Each structure stands twice: as C-alpha cells, then as structure tokens.
A and B are shown apart, each in its own frame.
Chain A
Amino acid sequence: MVTKGTRWYSLLLAPMMLVMGAVIGWPLIQTFVLSFTDSQLMDASQPTFVGFQNFIAGFKNQGFHDALKVSALFALVVVSSEMVLGTGVALLLNEPFRGRNVVRALLILPWAVPTTVNAIMWRLIYNPEYGALNSLLFQLGFIEKYISWLGSADKALGSVMFADVWKNFSLVAMIALASLQSLPDSQIEAAKIDGANALQRFRYITLPHLIPSLQVALVLRIIEAVKVFDIIYVMTKGGPANKTRSGSIFVYQEAFTNSRMGSGAAYAIIMVCLIMILIAFYLRGISRKEN
C-alpha cells in the first residue's frame, strides 16, 4: 500500500485515540493502580500502598464469589434463552402468513424499551399484591395464592432473568430474521427437490447460513449479560438477601456505598481478568472452528 503520507494516518486516528485514551485508557490504568492501595472515596490524602492485600482479600471474599456466580448464572441462562427463543421466533416469522409484516414491525418493541423502563415495568407486573402477573395467574386458576416474585429468595433471580429475556430476545430474533431473509429460496427449493425433510433442510442449509449473524448476536448479548448492572439494580438492588447481586453491583457497593475505592478497584480488575479469559476461550473456539 501507499507508504507516503503515513503522518496523515496517525492524524486521522489521533482524535479517536485521544478520546478513548482520556475516558477509557487513563481511567483503566488508574483503576489498576488504585487496586494496590487502600484509597477511600472521599479521602483527599495520599492513599497508602498495600500491595496485593486487596486481591488476596478479594479472592477469599464469599460475597464476591456469590456475586460472580450470580453474574455467570445470569449470563448463561439469559443468553441461551434469548438465542433459542430468538432463533425460533425468526424461523416462525420467516414463514409466510397473513399479517406477517405487522408482526415483524412489532418485533422491535421489546428491544426499544429502555432497560430502566423494562425494569420498572416488570417490577409493577411482579408486584405481590396488585401486580398483573399474580392477578392473571390467579384469575386463570393457575395459582391459589399470590406469589412474591421479587421477594422470594428462590424466585427473584429467575424473575429478573425473565424480564431481561423479554427485552433482548427480540434483538436476536431481528438479527436472525435479517439473515434468514438473505437466504435464497432457490437453495431451499433445490434441497426439497433432492428429498430433504424439514429437519435436514434446517441443519444443512438454514443453520449454517444463520451462524455468522447468530455469532454477532451471541457476542453482543454475552458481553452485556456478563456486565449486567442496570436491570438488576433497578428491580431489586441486589436483594433479597443478596440473591440477585451481580458482580458489577458488588463492585459498586464496595467502592461507592462502602467508600472503599482501592478494594473496589481490585474487585473490578479481577472481574476484568475473568472476562478476558472468557474472551480468550471464545476466540480460541472460533479460530479452531475456522481451521
């Protein structure tokens, strides 16, 4: 390629690097440094260096382990549900039927609803005394007594996950549908002529065609699910009995509610490392598949 004018390239890249460096790079480095100190939220004085103390305490902290488990469970259940449901819905909407365009247009509604609105909407629906869900199930005869969805230790996380799936499955569905629409009918017709049944057509033609876009959806969703904060914080603040406290909420409480920035930074770094390991596995898996 052209080598002259390389200064131009740096100049064009510079603004973006500057912004990213200022709001991401520099703070990230600072977090790294902070994690080795005992810095407090409002302390103006110089924090003292404490070495790996925060990390050691962090690894031993049961609350943190539980929080990581919540994040992992949340990501696993939510993303797999969305992928399966989204793909299924896309396949459904790829079939011809009357009113299909209307339904396709409606598909974006859950995704467009902001996360905080989604959270309060489901909070209202889950209300143990006057919520729509309890009333519906009761009036249809499915339950005898109203249930405390967000107040039961065993149901709270599931309820939050259900709310998250409602909003985000539609993104997966829309991406998959867009991909399905670019699958040429001729391929399907040819397969039918060759005698392939529906399952075979799906496995050998549809699915491979879907995979690249599904991967996009998967990556997008996993990233967001692992970082989850907003929907849980607004719905339950991490309760009851910390059963819905995700990793991000734990770090937030440690750094801001308990004012321990140094310790909070360490937890954040641990989370970052875990995510990097996750990414590494994913990339390894992809490159292996391609080979």
Chain B
Amino acid sequence: MVVVVVPLVLSFLLFWIYPIAAAFVNSFTDWQGFVGTRPFVGLENYARAAADPIFRQSLLNTFVFVAISLPTGIASALVLALLVNAAGRMKEIFRVIYFLPVVSSTIATAFVWRYLFQPQLGIFNQILQFLHLPAQRWLLSPDQALACVALYAIWQGLGYTMVLFMAGLTTIDSSYYDAAKVDGAGKWQVFRKVTLPLLRPTFAFVLVTNVINGLQIFAPIYVMTASGMTSGESPPGGPANSTMVIVVYQWLMAFRELQLGYGAAMGVILLFIILALTLLQLRWLRTRWDY
C-alpha cells in the first residue's frame, strides 16, 4: 500500500497544497515574470487592488453577474423541474433536451452564442427585425454585454440545476402531499407549505454551488468578449471593462502583464469572498429555515 500512497500524498502536497500556500506567500511579493525574483512588499498588492478602479469594477461586475444570473436561473430551473417532473411519458426526453448544454463544451457553445448576438448576422437581431423592434448592439454595448453573458450562463446551467431539483423532488414522500390534500390545501398552498420547505437541502446546495461557480466565471467571457482570441488586439472584459470580472482581470494581470504577485493577491481575495459568502449563506439558510 505504501508504494501507492506515498507518491499520491507527495504529488498532492506538491501540486495542490504547495501552490495554495505559495499563492498566499506570493501575494505579499512583487513577483514579476515566472523566472523573476520575488521581493517582499507586504500588503502592497492588496492596497493596490483596493485602489485599482478596474479591479473595483471587476468586483462589482462579478456581483452584478451573480445577481442577474442566479435568481433567474434558480427560479426557472425550479419551475422547469416541477413541469418536467409532471410530463409523464415525455419526462425523459425533456430532461435530455434541457440537459444538453451542461454536457457541451463551454468554449463551443459560447462561440455559438457570440454568433447569435452578432449585430448584423446574428439571429437575435434578425428576430427583433422580424418583430419590427429596433436592433440591439448586445455584446458590443457596455450596457448590455454583461446581461448577455448572464443569459448565456443561465442557458448553460439551467439543466444542471433542474436535475438537482428533480432529484430533490423525488425525495419528498408522497404522504406529505396526501396529508395536505386531506387538509384541503390548494395547489399553491401545497407548493409553498410542503414542496418548498422540503426542498431546503437542495436549495442550500444549489445556492452555494451556483454562487461559487458564478463568482468564478471565466471561459464564456473570454470567448464572447475578446476580439483577437490569442495575441489579441482587444482583451476580454470589454467593451469598456463592462464584462471585466475578477478571474478575467486576474488572468490578464498574471498571464499578459506578468504581474504575478498582484494576480496571486486577487486569487486570495477571491478565496475570502467565496468563503465569506458561503458561510453567510449557510447561516442564513439555517436561521431562515430551522425551527
């Protein structure tokens, strides 16, 4: 057993624990370039982040993105789960259809959505034109771009959350529904007083994982907002930084500007935001629903 365990533990320490520890240490250094020295600068990177208007913008954008995509995504997934669950013979088929984006590569589907949003050739403006509505600039508009990405993210994640809710619904014992019916409860009342409270564990899981994933959105923004994909004329996060989120900015700073210490500090900040929000949610869910 030792032959197997020791390499496993060593590689775990080297490729997971060490880089995490190093991220904390490096966030206190002015590390520039992967082979460069790492002079200690104390809290300078954190002070820089606090004063950096683009980082502050990226924080705000990240929260706005979560605030747009999360409630809409969860609510529609719940409605969908209830509907698909009641679909009888067609249940499996609809479940598969709504689940397709979950299995598909983000890069591929984000490219397709970018094309759908394209102002001249994209379908969305074609449909608006057909309905005699004014064409929109979508991803090219600083006011709409983040909402466009959020719409894509809802489309992509809907099936996953729906299936989680469907799994949660099957754990509710039918005797609760029978009892409610005997008591003369209407459909809406059954939903509010029986289904919703008994879905509590599913809600907690969905909420926490969705927030954690939403705070780390990267690939869709990378694909949908950069104009030159690699050596790039215009980097992701535009237009006018309107879709700049924490990890996109971290990626730009670290791997394009080679400000590695600063990038590491942003990673640490992200970690603390995620930890704080997760604890807050778990606490809120407990006080809200435990009685």
A binds B: no
Residues of A whose CB lies within 8 Å of any CB of B are none
Binding site for A on B (CB under 8 A): none
